[in-house]
Structure 1
Amino acid sequence: MFRDITSNLGLKITALLIAVAIWLYVSQSQGPEVTKSFIVPVQTRNLPENIANTTTLPNVTVTLRGSKILLEKIREENINAYVDFLDKKQGKDQVFVKVDFPQTVRLVDIDPNVVSVDLQKLQEKELPIVVTYYGQAPAGITLGEAQTDPKRLIIYGPSQGLSNIKEVHVKVNRALVKEGSNRFSMSYDLVDNNGKPVKKSTLEEMKIRPKFDTISVEIKSSSKQDIKTVGVIANTTGTLPTDRVITEIDWAPKSITISGPYATISKIESIYTEPYNLNGILSTTSVMVPLSIPLDVSADASEVRVTIKIEPLSRKKLNLYVDVKPTDKQYEVIDRIIEVTFQGPSSIIATLTTASATIDVSGLLQGEQNVKVQISGLPDGITVLQTPTVKVKII
């Protein structure tokens, strides 16, 4: 036996030395053994489709041991921590965390190595959509019933969370509603049994069907009706011939009663007639003129009778005595009797017999100068064709 051991002894020693050399080479090339920790999330496996875990799984710290070179090549994404729900039943439980990791290193520790879970059966619940309002509607606008699209939402999730969700709320600002049909695309909130928004953490466990980011809301509104009495104003356009003048415009009725949407009626203070064209009219005329009434307004009259009194223009010359104000200066008016030409309606010109003529010398300096005469005391409609002047000498 000894002979067997010692036979080919040189060859055996050589093989041993080669093996030791290879081991030393590998050990030196891969470096010494070290430990390294990785923080990774815990995932789930084999969770039935109709079951949900309602607890949030923590991150775990996975500690591995191996050569430094190999560990430096490992990243968090190379490590999978998970809990296996195969054959697990509904309810609360403690489940061991398992880890998949590169087999070139060894697993030292998982912290924590057990996590709490709460498995609940997934259910469906149909939620009504409720439109709520805020803000003030425009004056006179009455909101009708709101219609939503979709009509309802179906939420799918753990039974415990579903039991506390009551309905879907869509908030609409009344100030945005106009008369007629209004359509809004609005975000929505799920509301619990206490009327408060459902927590975000609860919603993350849910699925909503159909999947909508917004809900379409249609609101039909109408204007409140109002009745009001307003004045009528005759409206004319164009010009008379140069030798004619209007002495009076009259119309009847002077007021009418209107009705319509509150928002419109509240802004109307008076109703004008359609413009009546004066071009070419030579004498007094009386015509029915339509009223300019807004389309959404009704009135107890659609037209009024407008009477326009027109007379020829006449002229008259009068000799007037010029008064002077003030009288505390020494002055001399060269000619105190002046001739003034007046123009106006024939009926008024015929009755014109006099007028006041004055000059103001308070600001005048010594010497002769022409001063404009101020004519006053004229009836309405009478004008002076040319402002007269007189020569005044301040002494």
Structure 2
Amino acid sequence: MSDRFRRWWANNWASLIISIGLAIAIWVVATEDADSIEVRTLPSRVPISGVEAPAGLIIVNEPTSTTEITLRAQESTWQSLSAEDILATIDLTGFEPGVHQVPVTVEILGQGSRRVAVVAWNPTQVRVVLEQEETREVPIQVGLQGQPPLGFTLGEYSTDPPSVTLQGPQSLVELVSEVRGEVNVDDVRSEVREEIQLVALDSEGNPVEDVAITPNRAVVTVPITQDARFKVISIVPSPIGRVEDGYRLVQIEADPASVTVQGDPDVIDRLEGSIRLTVDISGLSDTIFFTNTISLPPGVTPIETETVRIRVQVEPQIASQSINIPIEVVNLAEGFEAIISPEQLEIIIEGPVPTLDDFNPETDIRAFIDLTDFPVGTATITPEVEVLLDDLSIISIFPVDIEVEILETTDETSQ
């Protein structure tokens, strides 16, 4: 048997190998016909990497950051293709300052045995504008807004740090005329110490964008001192007497609260820091205004005014009062009677003392229950209470609920 097989193999091996090869070729062709090749554009644009300026240069425009890629691949391959499989780059190595059209290169990543080809991409070039990067140190300027009051002097300001570093495109850094911040000193009477935001400005005072300021904030100190010929004196109203019974003094204030005076430095130095103005509040029952004139030693005069307006605010004292009032029954249907328990409420009211003094429990307050459409039987009802004076309010009501029994009345004359 083995001899016969050897003889058969010797006569037919070449034909067998040719047959196997033909079968494989037919299978490959059939497979390729079933998995057709298609040209498509990726649905997502591919990011362009490598947009980095060479050392010492800076990109001053906004280059296109993505590109649209068209590929050729078999239909089965398209099912797994995405933008992550494509690398689009530009290379700025060795470029000088100026305007450049930089070619975009496209590469297929990790394709392995997949047959994928790049057909086209758009854009194929990216416009990049390069400028020399410049660094410059400039002092900080401070704009002082407003003025201290008369008698106070501005000293020379200082900043910490005294200067900052500018960094950016040469054309923009050269536009910067100053780095500036603002401080408000209007009507300020003592030293100002404040952190301010810094802004780069051109020669016309316009902000210069895209220039980095390091640091971008600074602490400004502005000395403000008082001239020896001037002094600020507080006005202190001093009440005497008592307001009317049932009222209280809420507030007493002067307008202006202080005055600036001037005179010989020796006399000014001996002046007290405040002037006390006496105000008689005896019998007051309402807010009232007084006008006073301040008294100053010879040689000392006020800068603005010597007249002070005093406002005395008086309000009624607030107190509370407990009262017992009967409960009225209203809207009880004819032929019925109501038995209520308890028959009166204990109520605490609060308000101004003068109003409480005039309060009449019989006419100025009312408690009642409304029995409209209530059937025969018992019920728990919350009484309603009305206070007829606007200045008074109810603090508590006891009890909150009352028991009500509704009975049908009998006509004794008919029995």
TM-score normalised to structure 2 length: 0.46
Higher-Rg structure is: 1
TM-score normalised to structure 1 length: 0.48
